[in-house]
Amino acid sequence: MCPAFDSPGRDLSLPAAIDHTLLKPEATEAQIRALCKEAAQYGFAAVCVNPYWVKLCAQVLADTAVKVCTVVGFPLGAIPTAAKRAETQQALDDGAQEIDMVINLGAFKSGDLAQVQTDIEQVVAAASGRATVKVILETGSLDSAEVVQAASLAKQAGADFVKTSTGFAGSGATVEDVALMRATVGVEMGVKASGGIRSRQDALAMLAAGASRIGTSSSVSMVSEEDQSAKPAGDERARAELIEFGRRLWQREYVAASEGNLSIRLGEDRVLVTRTGACLGTLAPEDLVLVDLDGKPIEGKAEASAELAGHLEVYRQRADVEAVVHAHPPYATACAVAGLALDQCVLPEAVVVLGAVPLVPYATPWTDEVPKALRPHLSKCDAVLLANHGAMTWGQSLAAAIDKMEILETTARVTHLALSMGKLSTLDQAAVERLMQLREQKGLPGKLTPCRP
C-alpha cells in the first residue's frame, strides 16, 4: 500500500517539492505572471499567492502540472471561522487546488482547543474533495509541547499538511520544529517548511528532517546553485510532472499498489518511464528510468516498467505523441472486463476529445503481444480499453493524456449509472456533426474515430 505522502528522508526532486511563493501585498500582475512562468519552467509543485491572484494563476497554469495554492486567514489567523470558510469557498471557485490556512493562535494560546479544531475542520469541510489543506501553526510562537499539540489538532481535524510559518511573524522554520511535526503526524500527512528558507542547503536540511514541501520565494536561485544537479531543462520538468501526475492518479484511485505506468518522450529518441513495481502514489526521482526507443536503458538504476513495450509502440507509430498513460480506473476497467467498447456518443466532451474508444483484444501483460494488439488502433484514436487490463491514453503532453484518462473514466461511470437507471440517451447525428465541426474549427490535436450516435 502506498503511503499518502513521501516518507521522510526520501531523495525527492527539489523543484517538485517547492511551493514557489509570492505573498507580498504589493505584488503586481506582471510579477505574478512571472512567478507562474518560472514555476512551469522549473517544475515546481505549486505557486502560492494571495487570494486576489488565484483566478489569474489558474488561467495561466491551466495546461501545466503546477498547482495553485493560496492562503486563508492570512497572516494572523484571527478571523471568525465562517470567514475562513467563505475565503476557502471563494478560492476554490477561483481555481485554487491547495489552501494554506492560519491557525487561530490566540484561541490556541487561550486553551480553547475545541475552537481551534473546529476552525480547521470547517476549512477542511469546505475544501473536501477539491483541495489540499495545509494548517500553518506559526511554530516560532510555540514551544515544543505546543507544536506537538497544535500538529495533533490539525491531524484530528482531517487536514492534509501541517506547515511551520507564515513568514510574517518574525521567526520561520527550523529543522527541529520540522522533525517534531513529522514525528507527531507520521507519514499519513505532509509537512511544509516555510519561512526563512533561502538556500538549497536550507531546503535540503528541511527535507532531511521530514518536510515534504518547501515554501520559499527564493526558489529559482535555490535550484540554480552550482551544486544542484536539477536544471530548468526538459528532463527535470518531465520528472516533476511524472511524480505529480502519478500521485494524482493514485489519489483518484485510478491505480492501486504497483498498478499503472507513465512515460514522457524527451526529444526524438528518449523516453522517461516509471520503473517496474513502482507505486505511482509515492514516485521519487529514483523510480524513473530513461530509455531509448528500443527500450535500452540510458539512465537510472531501476528496471523500466514491464509495460514499456506498449508505450514505445505508441511513440514509434505516433510522432505527435509526447506522453502515454496506462491505468486501471474502476469504471473504464469494468467496461474492459465486460468486453464493452465505449463507442457511443454519450457526453459532448468525450465526443470531441475521445470519439469512439475501442476495446483492444486481450494481450498477455509484459509480452510483445501488447504492442501487437495496440498497433491497429494507434492511427485512429488517443484512448483504448485493454480487455481485462485497464485503459491507455496518450497525448501531446502528460497533462493532456491524463485529461483523456479522466474523461474516459467519467464517460464509463456515467454510462454505467444511466444504464442502471434503465436508459442511456445518446446524442443524435446532427449534434455529433456539429461537435465535430467545432473540433475542427478549434484545431484540437490528436486522432479519433467518430462515435456512434
Query: Among the options 134, 163, 202, 404, which is catalytic?
Result: 163
Question: Per-residue DSSP letters for 319-352?
Answer: TT--EEEEE--HHHHHHHHHT--B-B---HHHHH
Is 134 considered catalytic here? Answer: no
Find the mean pLDDT for residues 213-239.
Answer: 72
Which of 181-185, 317-321, 443-447 is least confident?
A: 443-447
Residue 168 confidence (pLDDT) = 84
Instruction: List Cα–Cα distances, 75 to 32, 47, 105, 157, 393, in angstroms.
Output: 19, 17, 11, 20, 43
Residue 223 confidence (pLDDT) = 84
Query: Among the options 67, 84, 155, 192, which is catalytic?
Result: 192
The per-residue pLDDT for range 167-210, each reduced to its tens digit, is: 887 678 999 999 999 999 998 899 999 999 988 889 988 998 88
Q: Does the pLDDT at position 261 exceed 90?
A: yes
In which band, very low, low, confident or very high, does the pLDDT at 311 lie, cut at 50, 70 and 90? Answer: very high
Q: Does the pLDDT at position 8 exceed 80?
A: no
> What's the mean pLDDT when you consider all of the chain?
91
Q: What sections of 224-359 are H helices per DSSP?
A: 234-251, 308-317, 330-338, 348-353
Domains of the chain plus CATH, in order, are 15-219 (3.20.20.70), 234-442 (3.40.225.10)
Is 192 considered catalytic here? Answer: yes
Query: Among the options 6, 100, 160, 235, which is catalytic?
Result: 100
Q: Does the pLDDT at position 3 exceed 50?
A: no
Residue 12 confidence (pLDDT) = 45
Residue type, 300: G
| Contact predicate 147/177, CB 8 Å | yes
Q: Does the pLDDT at position 233 exceed 80?
A: no
* Grid cell at residue 285: 526521482
Check residue 140 and report its DSSP letter: G
Which of 3-17, 18-32, 135-149, 426-440 is least confident?
A: 3-17
Question: Phi and psi dihedrals of 327, rounded to 5?
Answer: -145, 175
pLDDT over 90 percentage in the chain = 77
In which band, very low, low, confident or very high, does the pLDDT at 383 lie, cut at 50, 70 and 90? Answer: very high
Q: Does the pLDDT at position 2 exceed 70?
A: no
Q: Does the pLDDT at position 299 exceed 90?
A: no
| Angle between helices 234-251 and 398-420 in degrees, nearest 10 | 20
Residue 230 confidence (pLDDT) = 41
In which band, very low, low, confident or very high, does the pLDDT at 280 lie, cut at 50, 70 and 90? Answer: very high
Q: Parallel, antiparallel, or unpaired: how do β-strands 261-266 and 46-49 relate?
A: unpaired
Q: Does the pLDDT at position 225 exceed 70?
A: no
Is 37 considered catalytic here? Answer: no
Question: Phi and psi dihedrals of 440, rounded to 5?
Answer: -65, -40
